[in-house]
Amino acid sequence: MKIGYPCINQSLPCRSSRTFRLVSYSHEKMEQVIENNLACLSEILMFNQKYNLLFFRISSDLIPFASHPICDYPWQKIYRKTFRNIGNFIKRHNMRISMHPDQFVLLNSLDEDIFHRSIKELLYHAEILDLLGTNRSAKIQIHVGGIYGQKEKSLERFIKRYEYLPREITKRLVIENDERLYAVDDCLLIHNKINIPIVFDVLHFRCNNNGERMRDMLSKAFSTWNKQDGVPIVDYSSQEKGKRRGSHAHSININDFQEFFKETKGLDCDIMCEIKDKEKSAMKALRVLNKLKYQ
């Protein structure tokens, strides 16, 4: 079981997600920002290795405007060796990584242009993971998308669109349950058609379920993963008090995490702590994990 956090390390002074305005686009600007982002990604991974945080979600902003038509900078060729070196570090220390495009990636959108832009964005994410030399356990995680007034047809549209995606994407793509529209059982319907793995999101399940026991739905989601996909992924967070339903906690609730861990006992998974103070809560979760697994 690996513990990790997404995108930003708040203990380090650098960011691997620096970007710039589109009107400032130039090869010189791309070079400057990409070199910063890749150097910072290396720093983050070294920090994570030091503290045994072996699961990390790489920022989608690692390469600015990579899927935009304006991008004619050959970053893949120029930084191929740098990516390979980072990937070798990941493999040497048995780390796992993932990526999570933003909410504008919508495979089931009614707008064909949005669908095609989503494919380009997913291809960019797949390219990052391929350049790192990762195996299929490095996943690209998305939501199912919108309902658009017709949930059944929207589910069918996702399934149909998935079948046209290139292999570079489908070998890495996973879906997660969300807090309002698509619960775990909806994701299972999709899996039964196209065999896509399901990431179980704890907070989203608590917000959006049909009265099922968490343990039962965890087991069902975990059963959608095969050996090549790696162990199942769980997104963990708790509700931030006083905020809208589904708002992620600022820091880990130790009692809640202990209760969640008891739900997973006997089930192997890697846990992404989607908590706002990032590595701080991930390190606390790791300490709880190390304490409880020997009880």
Predicted confidence band at 281 (pLDDT cuts at 50, 70, 90)? Answer: very high
pLDDT at 294 over 70: no
Highest mean pLDDT out of 150-154, 247-251, 261-265:
150-154
Q: What pLDDT, in 10s, does the model give residues 59-75? A: 999 999 999 999 999 99
Query: In total, how many domains does the chain have?
Result: 1
Q: CB neighbours (10 Å) of residue 194?
A: 15
Residue numbers of the domain that contains 281: 3-292
Q: CB neighbours (10 Å) of residue 147?
A: 15
Per-residue model confidence (pLDDT) at position 103? 86
Residue 269: CATH number of its domain: 3.20.20.150
Predicted confidence band at 128 (pLDDT cuts at 50, 70, 90)? Answer: very high
Per-residue model confidence (pLDDT) at position 295? 52
pLDDT, mean over the chain: 95
Q: What pLDDT, in 10s, does the model give residues 211-254? A: 999 999 999 999 999 999 999 999 999 888 888 888 888 999 99
| CA–CA separation, 273 and 251 (whole Å) | 10
Whether 4 and 273 have beta carbons less than 8 Å apart is answered as yes
Per-residue model confidence (pLDDT) at position 137? 98
109 alpha-carbon distance from chain centroid: 20
